[in-house]
Amino acid sequence: MPELPEVESIRRSILPHVVGIRVATANLYRRDVLVAPGDPPGGFARQRSSAQRPKPVRVRPEHLLEGALITGVERRGKQLALIAELDGGGGGRALVVQLGMSGQFLHRAPGQELPDASHVHAEWMLKRGRRDAGRLVFRDPRRFGGLRAFATTELWTHWNGELGPDALLITPEQLAAAVAGSRRPVKALLLDQAALAGVGNIYADEALFKCGIRPDREAARLKPPEIVRLADEIRQTLAWAVEAGGSTLRSYVDADGNPGTFQLQHAVYGRGGEPCPRCGRTLRSGMLAQRTTVWCMGCQV
């Protein structure tokens, strides 16, 4: 699943294509990938009971920002949002793009085709004045991602209130507050988006290795110097990954279709059974917080 560096890379790559651009038309090809105002909080994609399933509200053009001028692209943790303004006093709106396991959010220039046009669930035709400015495409083969429409930018901000501090900016003081009294393994805490927004399996393993902390250590037992070092390593690891365009392990690409390269710098993630790059011991692999976890028994204590 794309984590903070991948989502931030998409944000940066899509910005020059969309800011100041108007959405001429928007097409939704699967209703269940959109959570519109009035839908159940989790949407309809995984509603199993048809007897209790409410009738979907009608999708209105403004739900998909049709006719709106895009004014920004924001990110909080792993969440990406197009911010737009409607003419005629419609005010600011937000459309969140959640990538899930296999989602892609792409910009195609006029006349540029997709390498794979299957599993396209939504599409936005863009205009700069009267000129064609290309299109945005959301595709998601596994459909664990989706779209979420907010009638105001304030509602988008309020929805984000459930997330913890953004991991790219985490301070030792914020991390200390998150670990205080927590009996969970430190890796489980790092994966909790209410404690720290943006870190997933890849970057939790990498940051913990870099600062020499075992992933199964009880979070509350971290000492103040370890908390400072861990906060620093989280920020630094994420920043390096953003500069490398993120990690491409399966289908992730940025908005221009470019893969990331940070996977070439992974020290431990996905390398269970291989030699530790620091001490040469065999890296251990096991399940922790329902995630495959890799660490070094010699370098991490």
Looking at the fold, whether 142 and 194 belong to one and the same domain comes out as: no
State both tokens at 124.
């936005």
Active-site annotation holds for 215: no
Q: Which of 235, 271, 278, 291 is catalytic?
A: 291
Q: Which of 11, 22, 78, 135 is catalytic?
A: 78
| Domain boundary residue, one of 137, 162, 187 | 162
Q: Which of 3, 6, 206, 226 is catalytic?
A: 3
The reported pLDDT for the residue numbered 231 is 98
pLDDT band at 67 (very low <50, low <70, confident <90, very high): very high
State both tokens at 193.
């988006």
pLDDT tens column, 196-212: 999 999 999 999 999 99
Range of the domain at 127: 4-162
pLDDT tens column, 120-161: 999 999 999 999 999 999 999 988 899 999 999 999 999 999
pLDDT tens column, 213-271: 999 999 999 999 999 999 999 999 999 999 999 999 988 999 999 999 999 999 999 99
Instruction: Compute the average pLDDT of residues 61-78.
Output: 96
Distance, in Å, from the CA atom of 269 to the CA atom of 158, rounded to the nearest integer, reads 34
- CATH at residue 195: 1.10.8.50
Active-site annotation holds for 3: yes
pTM for the complete prediction?
0.93
Active-site annotation holds for 78: yes
**Cβ atoms within 10 A of the Cβ of 40, count?**
13
- CATH at residue 77: 3.20.190.10
